[in-house]
Amino acid sequence: MELIPAIDIIDGQCVRLTKGDYAQKTVYRNHPWDVAKEFETYGFKRLHVVDLDGAKAKHIVNSDVLQKITTETSLTVDFGGGIKTDEDIEKAFANGAQMVTVGSIAVTNPELFLSWIKKYGADRMILGADVRNGKISINGWKEDSSEDLLPFLRKYVDAGVTNVLCTEISKDGTLQGPAIDLYKRIMQEYPNLHLIASGGVSSIDDIKALEAAGIPAVVFGKAIYEGRINLKELEIIDQR
């Protein structure tokens, strides 16, 4: 199973929200690049970075933080938050992101998203499928679209998407356990998908449960910052 720690950024700081609520923000570290370097020392190869300011502003804001992380570590960084235009995606790649996570544009401008898949390749694109009450949520989780999850995924799997990051918003930042049944349904429908589970992970046991359910990858952050997961005790088996 691929284990991916997460760094969320507001005002250049490492933070976590609860259920995507900007009013429920906890600042954990002032320098996200120091956190990234610590993750690297524990053997992680991959990092998920979210520009929460960018998601809210609808354009990339913290590109300088991204650049510092990618220049000071050798981690494979996937970056999301505020990628709305050709200029945004070019900025993300120019500042060292190897992959980008795109959600809102896949809902509001499918043609643009499909053009990015064609231009950059499906291996560099992660479809962000953030779910609330069965619907895809957009723009920093401030709006719910009319898109139902499984048909939304079908549209892009058929177009060549292989990487999907699915966050169950009601679980995110709650430390109440991941939405395993949801991820099982996705994998039953799309067994060849590289699905990245996100939201609710509270312990190593949660990670083991996802692995036992056949989920290929997991993103987790708050459980690390709150001391629920001790990285010294986490056996990193497969870092693709």
Q: Which residue has the tokens 């053997």?
A: 43
Do residues 141 and 20 touch, judged by C-beta distance below 8 A?
A: yes
In the chain, the largest separation of any two C-alpha atoms, in whole Å, equals 45
Catalytic residue, from 51, 53, 78, 130: name it. 130
Phi then psi dihedrals of residue 218, to 5 deg? -145, 140
* Nearest C-alpha neighbor of 53 from the set 92, 28, 81: 81
Q: Which helix (H) or strand (E) holds 222?
A: helix 222-225
Nearest-angstrom CA–CA distance, 25 and 50: 14
Cβ partners under 8 Å of residue 29, min gap 6: 13, 14, 35
Q: Is 8 a catalytic residue?
A: yes
Catalytic residue, from 8, 53, 88, 206: name it. 8
* Nearest C-alpha neighbor of 113 from the set 143, 145, 81, 83: 83
Q: Active-site residue numbers?
A: 8, 130
